Amino acid sequence: MLRGLYGAGAGMIAQQRQQEMLTNNMANVETAGYKADQSSLRTFPSMMIRAMGTDHTRFGGSNQVGELATGVYMQERTPNFRQGDMQETGNNTDIALLQGLVPTDEETNQDALLAFETLNDDGELRYTRNGNFTIDGDGFLTSSAGHYILGVDGEPIDVGNENIRVTNEGEIFSTEDELLGQINVAVIPDPAQLVKEGEGFLRYDGDNDIVAALDNAEVTYQLQQGFVERSTVDAAQTMTQMMTALRSFEANQKVLQAYDQSLERTVNDVGRVG
């Protein structure tokens, strides 16, 4: 009986974590460049049940009763790195990144990811697909959270003001056609090694080298000024998944309550017999 209790409890925990992930996706449905998380549910290893106190093998039988499932758990949550739709904003500092040809990992069959390279407050590199940029008080191009957007030279880009023109290759010109810098687009070979840190930023924990997309024969891309990349969250599908997770949670909850009532009767009533 306790095994069933644990199995129902594990199912509730898995569905709760699934619901938390889906809720976070819904909260970021309008966040530029956000990549929706997807979950993978797995079952714990099954156990083989054997009969005890008898020996059926003497009559050509078996002591094996069968397998017992031990519940499920959320194994991992992985972002969906597909290209999001473009949304026009008309803002000079909004820049959308359109990913074209990228190299594919032969072992995992996973495409590389293109992303903007930024510098956080601790001087560490972070990556983002959110092109909702702005100009700080010193005239540098920054993310909406204040991270410096890095150029191909690895330095923050001083643009002065919002009156800029950005080419498809990321070159930034002033109104006098002075070249102010060029936005660096990084090629991340194994996106599975990216870790979300909030506000649209990704930390790379992999071992492979991250290279620039500029002048890379294996990569094609295009930057569009006045646009942002929309989130990859499908609101209708996510709502359906949230309802399914809630129903599964409730079903496991009822099973748990049934086991609890059975245990209560066992403890309180069986002992009174006789």
In this structure, are 64 and 101 located in the same domain? no
In this structure, are 70 and 93 located in the same domain? no
How far does CA 19 lie from the centroid of its chain?
Answer: 14
Structural domain span for residue 239: 2-79+233-272
In this structure, are 131 and 193 located in the same domain? yes
Other Cβ atoms less than 10 A from the Cβ of 27: the count is 11
In this structure, are 107 and 68 located in the same domain? no
In total, how many domains does the chain have?
2
In this structure, are 47 and 67 located in the same domain? yes
In this structure, are 69 and 117 located in the same domain? no
Phi and psi at residue 29, to the nearest 5°: -65, -25
Other Cβ atoms less than 10 A from the Cβ of 1: the count is 8
> According to the model, what pLDDT value does residue 41 have?
78
In this structure, are 31 and 103 located in the same domain? no
- What DSSP state is assigned to residue 199? T
Q: Which of 194, 213, 229 is the last residue of a domain?
A: 229
In this structure, are 178 and 109 located in the same domain? yes
pLDDT in tens, the chain (274 residues): 566 777 788 888 888 999 999 999 999 999 999 999 998 877 765 555 555 555 555 544 555 555 656 678 777 888 989 999 999 999 999 999 999 999 998 877 889 999 999 999 899 999 999 999 999 999 999 998 899 999 999 999 999 999 999 999 999 999 999 999 999 999 999 998 999 998 889 999 988 899 999 999 999 999 999 999 999 999 999 999 999 999 999 998 888 888 778 777 776 766 565 5
Q: 191-195 — which CB contacts under 8 Å span 24+ positions?
A: 191/79, 191/81, 191/110, 191/111, 191/112, 191/113, 192/78, 192/108, 192/110, 194/79, 194/113, 194/127
Tokens 């023109």 sit on residue: 165
In this structure, are 7 and 65 located in the same domain? yes
